[in-house]
């Protein structure tokens, strides 16, 4: 019987910088207060990097590889989801490759802002499931502290720096037992849809949903540091610009839709999900999603109080915390869901499997 493959997460890791900026620190820099920030966002503190995105990404990657029990030469593929690489080139993924000794791996970055890890995870899973590669490192890493105007209270209070990583491996098995097919944004829910998995019993990543809308790109922008003065004269500040209320409305609508989509594809109900691992942008957004899904907040872990919005890093940092706290068991169904600039958004079902990476 021919072998069929399914990519699984076999290890996780994360890294946040030591330097902490509290809400009180910010209130000395801009006209804001600890009370306003906590009430409107849930954020109490954030971390700021002194070394940059690649360094954070490499540190998270090494922890994930240690957790998975693999060495760099076992990696076939490295994808880093980031929109704040230290260089336009080389890619952050190539810098990570050098740092972790993954000489055989093919490496590239994926730009999807705060959806970066989710899109990278799905991309790597498709490569692994196709049989092209066996072992992948997926990293979400961002230093949004570099892009915000620290005089703009509407954005600088929200963001922090960090990195999270996962090691994926394709397991081979008897045909029909582990096949997990992938969804796409055009894929309506239904048992015969292209994204419907034939079995979720043995773990894996998927089905997934990914959406993009370039027509609303102006809601959240940040010009490229080295090019900003040449091409973006209409945005003279050169910093991140955000329409917070529109992004908020976009998030509370699209995240439940994306989650509903993948649950329908998987044939699962919200009650079947152990944890909804959402992008950590604003606790009010998370609470709104929980309410729309008619699920208790206990199923929506939160760490944005400590780290703020770490963009592409927020989902893998949270996933690593759940793993290291021993909160995940074989067969647990998780939903990962994120949204961000682009606009981009999406959701993935992850069926956890105890492995070398389990604590
Ligand atoms: O990864 C995706 C990244 N982006 C997001 O997730 C953003 C989503 N949006 C949000 O999280 C919220 O819209 C914010 C937290 C950004 C803002 O909260 P809000 O409840 O939408 O506030 P608002 O923009 O409606 O502003 C309310 C008031 C305004 O004052 P007036 O006009 O009512 O007098 C603002 O000027 O709060 C003022 N304000 C602040 N006050 C103190 C805005 N920022 C601050 C601040 N401190 N930091």
309 within 8 A of 159, measured Cβ to Cβ: yes
Task: Find the 241 Cα to ligand 1 centroid distance in Å.
Answer: 13
The angle, 0 to 180 degrees and rounded to 10, between the axes of the packed helices 314-324 and 116-130 is 70
55-90 per-residue burial string, b: 16 or more CB within 10 A, e: under 16: bbbbbbbbbbbebbebebebbbbbbbbbbbbbeeee
- Whose Cα sits closest to atom 17 in ligand 1? 244
Cα–Cα distance between 346 and 209 in angstroms, integer? 5
Asked whether 213 and 227 are in contact (CB, 8 A), the reply is no
Q: Which of 67, 94, 107, 114 is catalytic?
A: 114
The answer for residues whose C-beta is within 8 angstroms of residue 266's C-beta and 6 or more apart is 196, 197, 200, 207, 333, 349
**154: Cβ below 6 Å to ligand 1?**
yes
CA gap 341, 115 in Å, rounded = 8
Which residues lie closer than 8 Å to 3 by C-beta, 6 or more apart?
A: 172, 173, 174, 175
* C-beta of residue 256 within 8 angstroms of C-beta of residue 164: no
- The tally of CA atoms less than 13 A away on the side-chain side of residue 39 is 5
How many whole angstroms separate alpha carbon 273 and alpha carbon 280?
A: 18
Is the distance from the beta carbon of residue 78 to the nearest atom of ligand 1 less than 6 Å?
no
Sheet of strand 3-15: strand arrangement: 3-15, 161-174, 135-143, 77-81, 106-110
What integer pLDDT is reported at residue 254 of this predicted model?
Answer: 98
**Ligand 1 center to 243 CA (angstroms):** 9
Is the CB of residue 351 less than 8 Å from the CB of residue 275?
no
Cβ contact 8:204 at 8 Å: yes
**What pLDDT was estimated at residue 211?**
98
Whether 107 is catalytic is no
* Chain centroid offset of residue 212 CA: 15
Q: Tell me the backbone φ, ψ of residue 9, rounded to 5 degrees.
A: -80, 120
Q: Whose CA is nearest to atom 48 of ligand 1?
A: 153
Yes or no: say if 278 and 337 are a contact pair by the CB < 8 Å rule.
Answer: yes
Check pocket membership of 299 for ligand 1, CB cut-off 6 A. no
Active site residue 114: yes
Residues 6+ apart with CB under 8 A from 123: 79, 110
Catalytic hit among 23, 67, 122, 309 = 309
Distance in Å, CA 235 to ligand 1 centroid: 20
Parts of the chain with a pLDDT under 50: 1-4, 174-201, 356
Q: Does the CB atom of residue 12 touch ligand 1 within 6 A?
A: no
Cα dihedral sign, 225-226-232-235? positive
pLDDT at residue number 172? 72
Quote the pLDDT of residue 209. 97
In the prediction, which pLDDT does 232 show? Answer: 55
Report the pLDDT value the prediction gives residue 193, as an integer from 0 to 100. Answer: 38
> Does residue 116's CB lie within 6 angstroms of at least one atom of ligand 1?
no
């Amino acid at each position: 019987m021919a072998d069929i493959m399914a990519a699984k997460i076999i290890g996780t890791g994360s890294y946040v910088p030591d330097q902490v900026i509290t809400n009180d620190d910010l209130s000395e820099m801009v006209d804001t207060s600890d009370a306003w920030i906590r009430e409107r966002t849930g954020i109490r503190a954030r971390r700021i990097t002194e070394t940059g995105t690649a360094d954070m990404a490499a540190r998270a990657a090494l922890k994930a590889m240690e957790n998975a029990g693999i060495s760099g030469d076992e990696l076939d593929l490295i994808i880093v989801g980031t929109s704040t690489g230290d260089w336009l080139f080389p890619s952050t993924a190539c810098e990570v490759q050098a740092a972790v000794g993954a000489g055989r791996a093919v490496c590239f970055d994926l730009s999807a802002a705060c959806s970066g890890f989710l899109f990278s995870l799905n991309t790597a899973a498709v490569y692994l499931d196709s049989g092209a590669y066996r072992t992948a490192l997926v990293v979400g890493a961002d230093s949004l502290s570099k892009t915000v105007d620290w005089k703009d209270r509407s954005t600088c209070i929200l963001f922090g720096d960090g990195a999270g990583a996962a090691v994926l491996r394709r397991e081979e098995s008897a045909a029909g037992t582990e096949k997990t097919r992938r969804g796409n944004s055009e894929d309506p829910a239904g048992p015969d849809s292209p994204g419907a998995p034939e079995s979720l019993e043995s773990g894996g990543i998927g089905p997934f949903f990914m959406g993009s809308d370039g027509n609303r790109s102006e809601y959240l922008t940040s010009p490229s540091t080295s090019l900003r003065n040449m091409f973006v004269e209409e945005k003279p500040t050169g910093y991140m610009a955000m329409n917070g209320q529109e992004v908020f409305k976009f998030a509370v609508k699209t995240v439940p839709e994306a989650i509903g989509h993948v649950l329908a594809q998987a044939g699962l109900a919200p009650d079947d999900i152990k944890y909804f691992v959402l992008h950590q942008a604003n606790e009010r957004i998370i609470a709104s999603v929980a309410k729309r899904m008619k699920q208790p907040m206990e199923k929506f872990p939160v760490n944005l109080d400590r780290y703020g919005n770490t963009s592409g890093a927020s989902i893998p940092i949270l996933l690593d915390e759940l793993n290291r706290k021993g909160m995940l068991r074989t067969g647990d169904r998780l939903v990962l869901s994120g949204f961000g600039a682009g606009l981009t958004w999406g959701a993935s079902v992850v069926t956890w499997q105890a492995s070398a990476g389990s604590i």
